[in-house]
Amino acid sequence: MTEKSKSTTKGINTRLAHLGYEPRSFHGFVNPPVVHASTVLFPDAATLASRDQKYTYGTHGTPTTDALCEAINALEGSAGTIVVPSGLAAVTVPLLAYLQAGDHILIVDSVYGPTRRFCNTTLRRFGVETTYYDPMIGAGIDALMRPNTRLVHTEAPGSNTFEMQDIPAIAEVAHARGALVSMDNTWATPLFFKPLDHGVDISIHAATKYPAGHSDILIGSVSANEKAWPALLDTFTNLGVCAGPDDSYMTLRGLRTMGVRLERHQQSALAIARELESSAGIARVLHPALESFPGHGIWKRDFCGSSGIFSIVLDVADQDRWKAKSHAFLDALEIFGLGYSWGGYESLAVIANLSDRTVAKAPSEGPVIRLQIGLEDVSDLMEDINRALAASLAA
Ligand SMILES: Cc1ncc(COP(=O)(O)O)c(C=O)c1O
């Protein structure tokens, strides 16, 4: 309850329980109020003219969004955080903040699909050129940097095939060439990887996933270091894309239990991934914490945990059978739901669409199925997957 309980020397669950927590500011109530606000009143004409008070209008922040941003700032080690109405907005707002006509951006080829769509449509229309790069490029990114490259966007691991990236090596090159580095860190959360400690300037989070945690909220956060913060705040203020009060409150509430939920997601996903490595019908399991995974060394060096999604590559030699085999797998599942997103309490499965890749090609052994491992019991989930594998083998 004191400042000491928020200190970086305390354990992560102690910090999650107390960050963004100021009961004395709210008459002792444990949680901050959910402030629904557009108008904020000023006491007199002079203050109205100077705007010299903490809150001025709903789009610029409220005690509810401040509590959430303060908690995220503490987790990220950032100078400032904005919260926006979706994870996708958390990607697009910084792209608009740091780029202008005539600029060039480097984007990892394993990037979240809608990020690619935004670059190929909106950014192109605004005169920004995009080049996609191999996730394993590391310091080799130097060869792709141009005098007008302003931003290098990273995402590790990729959210379908889980390619890792050497973030410190990329950041070193980008900074030497005068570019900023952004990272979509949704998979790891700041609990398992802290981007700003590894040279990233802007840390992006689809807080829809693990922070909110219950498949009922869309929200995103962007946290920046001192250098990147002014431009981010400026664009956020200009666009007016502020997260709503109820969603912000519920995300702060979700953060309180994120540590224990993530621990469970981690253990269950890893147990299932390990078991599936030797299952008939599976060519490969794509999970950075598995020793067999190509990017495992980077994961082990830089990350301190793994979360709850990974993919399996079905072993289907005949490409004409990919659709039938993967559909048979999905249709036999009884506990896993078929649907997008992840980070919630329930397990989900989807077929990964990798048709947009230009550099990091899709696995060739068979269709890729992404599994989001929820909080259910591992034995029940394994039974479900084994039923699906049997159906796929029989199809
Ligand atoms: C890696 C990644 N980033 C961003 C997003 C976007 O989040 P949202 O669904 O909140 O827009 C997603 C959603 O699936 C994602 O997987």
Q: Which of 84, 87, 133 is nearest to 111 (CA)?
A: 133
Q: Does residue 283 sit in the same domain as residue 314?
A: yes
Residues in CB range of 119: below 8 A, 6 or more apart: 95, 105, 107, 128, 130
Q: Does residue 272 sit in the same domain as residue 132?
A: no
Q: Which of 83, 84, 86, 88 to mutate to test the pocket of ligand 1 (most atoms within 8 A of CB)?
A: 88
CB of 184 shorter than 6 A to ligand 1: yes
What's the pLDDT score for residue 1? 45
Distance (Å, whole) CA 96 – CA 239: 10
Q: Does residue 336 sit in the same domain as residue 362?
A: yes
What's the pLDDT score for residue 23? 86
Q: Which of 338, 332, 337, 325 is nearest to 392 (CA)?
A: 325
Q: Does residue 186 sit in the same domain as residue 250?
A: yes
Distance (Å, whole) CA 85 – CA 207: 10
CATH number at residue 157: 3.40.640.10
Ligand 1: residue whose CA is nearest its atom 7: 87
Q: In one letter, which amino acid is 379?
A: S
Q: What is the pLDDT along the chain (395 residues), one digit of tens a residue?
A: 456 677 778 999 999 999 987 888 889 999 999 999 999 999 999 999 999 999 999 999 999 999 999 999 999 999 999 999 999 999 999 999 999 999 999 999 999 999 999 999 999 999 999 999 999 999 999 999 999 999 999 999 999 999 999 999 999 999 999 999 999 999 999 999 999 999 999 999 999 999 999 999 999 999 999 999 999 999 999 999 999 999 999 999 999 999 999 999 999 999 999 999 999 999 999 999 999 999 999 999 999 999 999 999 999 999 999 999 999 999 999 999 999 999 999 999 999 999 999 998 899 999 999 999 999 999 999 999 999 999 999 99
CATH number at residue 283: 3.90.1150.10
Which tokens belong to 258?
A: 């994120």
CA 44 – ligand 1 centroid, Å:
44
CB of 112 shorter than 6 A to ligand 1: yes
Q: In one letter, which amino acid is 333?
A: L
CB of 157 shorter than 6 A to ligand 1: no
User: Which of 189, 221, 254 is the last residue in one of the domains?
Assistant: 254
What's the pLDDT score for residue 20? 87
Q: Does residue 70 sit in the same domain as residue 146?
A: yes
CB of 193 shorter than 6 A to ligand 1: no
Q: Which of 209, 214, 250, 342 to mutate to test the pocket of ligand 1 (most atoms within 8 A of CB)?
A: 209
Domain that holds residue 231: 3-254
Distance (Å, whole) CA 67 – CA 254: 13
CA 78 – ligand 1 centroid, Å:
21
CA 88 – ligand 1 centroid, Å:
6
CB of 207 shorter than 6 A to ligand 1: no
Q: Does residue 191 sit in the same domain as residue 100?
A: yes
* 181 in Cβ contact with 152 (< 8 Å): yes
Q: Which of 83, 92, 108, 341 to mutate to test the pocket of ligand 1 (most atoms within 8 A of CB)?
A: 341
CA 343 – ligand 1 centroid, Å:
10
Q: Does residue 139 sit in the same domain as residue 279?
A: no
* Atom from ligand 1 closest to the CA of residue 187: 1
CB of 158 shorter than 6 A to ligand 1: no
Q: Does residue 307 sit in the same domain as residue 267?
A: yes
User: Which of 205, 235, 254 is the last residue in one of the domains?
Assistant: 254
User: Which of 204, 229, 254 is the last residue in one of the domains?
Assistant: 254
What's the pLDDT score for residue 205? 98
Q: Does residue 221 sit in the same domain as residue 300?
A: no
Q: Cis ω on the peptide bond leading into residue 157 (within 30° of 0)?
A: yes
Q: Does residue 243 sit in the same domain as residue 117?
A: yes
Q: Does residue 250 sit in the same domain as residue 272?
A: no
Distance (Å, whole) CA 39 – CA 180: 36
CB of 186 shorter than 6 A to ligand 1: yes
Q: Does residue 232 sit in the same domain as residue 268?
A: no
What's the pLDDT score for residue 233? 98
CA 91 – ligand 1 centroid, Å:
9
User: How many domains does one find in the chain?
Assistant: 2
Residues in CB range of 166: below 8 A, 6 or more apart: 136, 138, 139, 298
